[in-house]
Amino acid sequence: MIIAVSGKGGVGKTLVSSLLIKKLSKTGKDVLAIDADPDSNLPEALGVDVDRTVGDVREELKKDTTQGRIPPGMNKWDILDYKIMESVIETPQFDLLVMGRPEGSGCYCAVNNMLRKIIENLSDNYDIIVIDTEAGLEHLSRRTTQNVDVMLVVTDNSKRGILTAHRIGELAAELDIRFKDLYLILNRVQPEMEKEFIKRAEETGLEIVGIVHEDDEVALYDMDGKPLVELPNDSNTVKAVSGILTSILKD
Amino acid sequence: MFEDITVDVSPMHEGERIRSANMFVELAGPKSIGAELVQVEDNVEDGKLEVIGPELQDMQEGDIHPLGIMIKIQGEKLERELEGVIERRTHELCNYVKGFMHLNQRDQIWCRVSKEAMEAGFKLKDLAKALSILFKEEYSIIEAISITIMTGEDQVKEFVEKTRVTYEQRDARARELSDEDVDVFYGCVMCQSFAPTHVCVVTPDRTALCGAINWFDCRAAAKMDPEGPIFEIVKGEVLDEVKGEYQNINEMVAERSQGTFDTVYLHSVFGYPHTSCGCFEAVAFYVPELDGIGIVDRDFRGETPLGIPFSSMAGQCSGGKQVEGFSGLSMEYMRSPKFLQADGGYERVIWLPKEIKESLAEYIPDELKDKISTEEDGGSIKEILKFLQEHEHPIMERMKQSLEEVEETPVEEEEAMEYSEMDMEAVSMAPVAYAPELTVPTAGGVKIIFKNAKVYAEKVIIKRK
């Protein structure tokens, strides 16, 4: 099962992703987290260090190829496969693959073609995959999320956040990408604005699967750069995301 | 067949990965050493399977150990040349074993054994057993096989050293592989999404323009993904060995370019050069004033002797076009012994960015190294000409010869005059426009097309109407 978390930049995708991963890793299932946002901080939220990203591996292979450093008897697929496995950050609870920096100039067709297959193959080995997508709509038009089962769109109460959520729904339909489920999550909800926020969010046509309230504790963790997975189990935010996961897995 | 092996052995387990959380031990890989080797030998004791060093049962959970896999084979039809190909199968065949992960090849292998396999009583001896059966099944020419698996530090270290010598010998042979040695070339249309008429032809002497895939990669890709964008081209009839023209390539290019092109020369920028995608690593371009060829790579930001940077040049000849005088190419192709051989190879090259010139030091013939100019020797045609004259570039001989030839025939004398006049003019005039093809609108049902046109002017006036 593949769950993707999307939305405008800064609405709390990483918060939702990291807490979903925390909860999922307690189920005893093999969990792979994919950080697909070049500008994200999922590793920090999960409290793990990253040495090397897929982007770094891609550049390394390209450089080695251009400079003629790959022996003719070696197969590039296998080399890339090895390097990708090497860049997976393995913890007892979950594994993490960080996509990292975007491509430089030059041709990436061949290497991306190989990467797609290799990551697909790698992903087949896990029970559940959680993708923290890049902000915006690119992942849809590039079809990197087309095999996703559950698409979670996160928004805060800003007009632009809701608009992005709306567009994600529209674009998925336009591109004929059929997620099994497409849900909306409202984040940083302030009680006094809750009613109005829900009303506006409902206009996107997306089903609201959960509400995460404004949480000083989360803000404090963010300010100190503390891993969000270390939030206590009785935190309202942790409970809200757990509830969301239960609803998703119920179907 | 695999009755006495306690885990399942089947192709369905290919691609199995073992997470560190589910792993019993890791063998070889980034934190240890390891290698595998297939060797054709005489007097192989068929069915001899050995594990030297600790067996899995002697290891602790979470351990990392070295791993060596030595496979000796014998058979009447087996040749040493086949060792590499057969060795490549080790990866897939090891992965048939459930609970055993195997990545990569040679001295870069990485293996893991799952806790589950361990609980089922799996041993490295079983791996050797499975491999011995699978290899014989796969290659009927293997008459005898013996396998030794090593896990002791010193022994594996020694083994890895030994394998490296063999790999180097094999690579040296592979580097020597040329277009004449093979019966199959490959075509690649991966770029057709944005260059719909581009067909890349990959041969041992010519890698794809993007530099990302060589003949060996294509062979692997065509096998792994037969319906994919990379396909076989049976070499067939050679029409021109020097230019690199083949009947079957012409036909394939015609078919895959939807009839846009029907002739391609693999080793020339003249006549019918290879089409260019958009992702080539460099472009070779003809400089008519000097009758030489310049090359510019993607990373070079300055202007080329044609007065335009890489990006503009790439824009003019990419998208699957075949433009005479231009050819997209890979860095690796510049290391090929057939590099633009129909045009004279490096003897025809007059300009290169300094950085590539340095990186190609081993491949540019010694006597030409100091004769090819770079951006540091000046960017204009005049400056390059001066450099070429001073350094006695073979192109000067060529120019002289062609001038002498035309001087002998009075009709063409004018042309020769024009040539030198233009040369002079190029000095004081600035290049205004450059186009591989320029059509001038005219009346009367006539069309004037300039090929490789360069417009020079003394003064350019831009006026608001």
Nearest CA in chain A to B107: A74
- Residue of chain B nearest A94, judged by CA positions: B21
Instruction: Kindly determine whether residue A71 and residue B167, on different chains, have CB atoms separated by under 8 Å.
Output: yes
Q: Is the pLDDT of residue B240 over 60?
A: yes
Residues 6+ apart with CB under 8 A from A95: A30, A31, A32, A33, A88, A89, A126, B19, B20, B21
Residues 6 or more apart in contact with residue B415 via CB below 8 angstroms: B406
In angstroms, the separation between the Cα of residue B21 and the nearest Cα of chain A is: 5
**pLDDT attached to residue B415:** 44
**Confidence tier at B437 by pLDDT (50, 70, 90):** low
**Neighbour count for residue B363 (Cβ, 10 Å):** 13
Nearest residue to B243 (alpha-carbon basis) of B104, B330, B343? B343
Q: CB count, 10 Å around CB of B186?
A: 23
Question: Which H or E element spans position A97?
Answer: strand A95-98
Cβ–Cβ gap B212/A110 under 8 Å: yes
Confidence of residue B442 (pLDDT cuts 50, 70, 90): low
Interface of B with A in 345-374 (CB under 8 A): 359
Of B19, B167, B221, Cβ closest to residue A30: B19
The pLDDT value recorded for residue B416 is 43
Per-residue pLDDT band for A167 (boundaries 50, 70, 90) equals: very high
DSSP assignment of B418-429 equals: HHHHHHHHHHHS
Cα dihedral B334, B337, B342, B347 sign: positive
Condensed to tens digits (0 to 9), the pLDDT of residues B398-424 reads 888 877 776 665 544 444 444 444 444
Q: Which domain holds residue A37?
A: 2-250
Pick the range with the lowest mean pLDDT from B155-164, B268-277, B437-446: B437-446
What is the count of residue pairs from A and B with beta carbons less than 8 Å apart? Answer: 112
What tens digit of pLDDT does each residue of B115-172 get?
Answer: 999 999 999 999 999 999 999 998 888 999 999 999 999 999 999 999 999 998 888 8
Question: How far is it, in rounded angstroms, from Cα B395 to Cα B379?
Answer: 18
What tokens appear for B362 in the block?
Answer: 């081993």
Residue count (chain B)? 465
CB within 8 Å of chain A, chain B residues 26-45? 30
What is this model's ipTM?
A: 0.86
CA–CA dist B257, A242 (Å, integer): 54
- Judge whether B11 and B91 are in contact, CB under 8 Å: no
Radius of gyration of the CA atoms of chain A, in A: 19
| Of residues A107 and A58, more confidently modeled | A58
Average pLDDT, whole number, for chain B? 88
pLDDT at B439: 66
Contact B324, B269 (CB under 8 A): yes
Which residue among B19, B175, B359 sits closest to A72, beta carbon to beta carbon? B175
* Helix (H) or strand (E) segment spanning residue B255: helix B247-256
Cβ of A82 under 8 Å from any chain B Cβ? Answer: yes
Chain A closest-CA separation from residue B440 CA (Å): 34
User: Mean pLDDT throughout B309-320?
Assistant: 86
CB B328 within 8 Å of CB B271: no
In the stretch 39-78 of chain A, residues with CB closer than 8 A to chain B read 62, 65-68, 71-78
Comparing CA positions, the residue from A13, A18, A5 lying closest to residue A231 is A18
B103: CB partners within 8 A, 6+ apart: A78, A81, A82, A85, B29, B91, B109, B110, B111
A237 is written with which tokens? 């935010």
C-alpha A140/C-alpha A148 separation (Å) is 10
Least CB–CB distance from A73: residue in B20, B84, B211: B84
Q: Is B459 exposed, middle or buried (0-12, 13-18, 19+ CB in 10 A)?
A: exposed
Interface check for A124 against chain B (CB to CB < 8 A): the answer is yes
Mean predicted confidence (pLDDT) in A203-231: 94
Range in A232-236, B72-76, B193-197 the model is least confident about = B193-197
When CB atoms are compared, the residue of A30, A72, A77 closest to B174 is: A72
CATH code, domain carrying A66: 3.40.50.300
Q: How far is B66 from chain A (nearest CA, A)?
A: 17
Chain A hits for B329, Cβ within 8 Å: none
Residues of A in contact with B279 (CB under 8 A): 106-109
What 3-state DSSP class applies to B219? helix
Encode burial over B314-340: b for 16+ CB neighbours within 10 A, e otherwise. bebbbbbbbbbbbbbbbbbbbbbebbb
**Is B90's pLDDT higher than 90?**
yes
Which position has the higher pLDDT, B174 or B303?
A: B303
- B80 CB within 8 Å of a chain A CB: no
Check pLDDT > 50 for residue B231.
Answer: yes
Read off φ and ψ for residue A152, nearest 5 degrees.
-105, 125
Chain B residues inside the 8 Å CB shell of A79: 104, 108
Question: Is A158 an interface residue toward B (CB < 8 Å)?
Answer: no
- Band the pLDDT of B438: cuts 50, 70, 90: low
3-class SS of residue B165 = helix
Rounded distance between C-alpha atoms, residue A232 and residue B351, angstroms: 66
Q: What is the pLDDT of residue B312?
A: 87
DSSP letter string, A34-77 = EE--TT--HHHHHT---S--HHHHHHHHHHHHHTT-S-TTS-HH
* pLDDT tops 80 at residue B294: yes
If one counts the domains in chain A, the total is: 1
User: Are residues A81 and B103, on separate chains, in Cβ contact within 8 Å?
Assistant: yes
Threshold 0.80, pTM exceeds = no
Least confident among B47-51, B123-127, B449-453:
B449-453
3-class state of residue B305 by DSSP: coil
Would you call A233 an interface residue with chain B, using a CB distance cutoff of 8 Å? no
- H runs (alpha helix) in A124-235: 138-141, 159-174, 194-202, 216-224
B331–A contact, CB cutoff 8 A: yes
- CB contact under 8 Å between A82 and B279, yes or no, is no
Give the nearest chain B residue to A65 (CA atoms). Answer: B212
**Cα separation of B344 and B293, whole Å?**
10
**Residue-wise pLDDT tens digits, B143-158:** 999 999 999 999 999 9
Q: Which amino acid is at B228?
A: G
Q: From chain A, pick out residues whose CB is under 8 angstroms from the CB of B314.
A: none
Q: Are B64 and B26 in contact (CB under 8 A)?
A: yes
Residues shown for chain A: 251
Write out chain A residues lying below 8 Å of B171, CB-based.
71-73
* Rounded distance between C-alpha atoms, residue B452 and residue B437, angstroms: 6
List, in order of start, the domains of chain B with CATH numbers.
11-176 (3.30.1650.10), 180-367 (3.40.970.20)
Instruction: Kindly calculate the radius of gyration of chain B based on its CA atoms and give it in whole angstroms.
Output: 29
Confidence grade of residue B224 (pLDDT, cut at 50, 70, 90):
low
- Give which of B441, B465, B436, B440 is closest to B453, Cα–Cα: B436
* Interfacial A residues in 134-153 facing B (CB < 8 Å): none
The band of B430, judged by pLDDT with boundaries at 50, 70 and 90, is: low
pLDDT at B245 over 50: yes
DSSP conformational letter for A30: -
- Vertex A7, ends A5 and A9: CA angle to 5°? 115
Q: Is the pLDDT of residue B462 over 80?
A: no
Chain A nearest-CA distance from B299, in A, is: 9
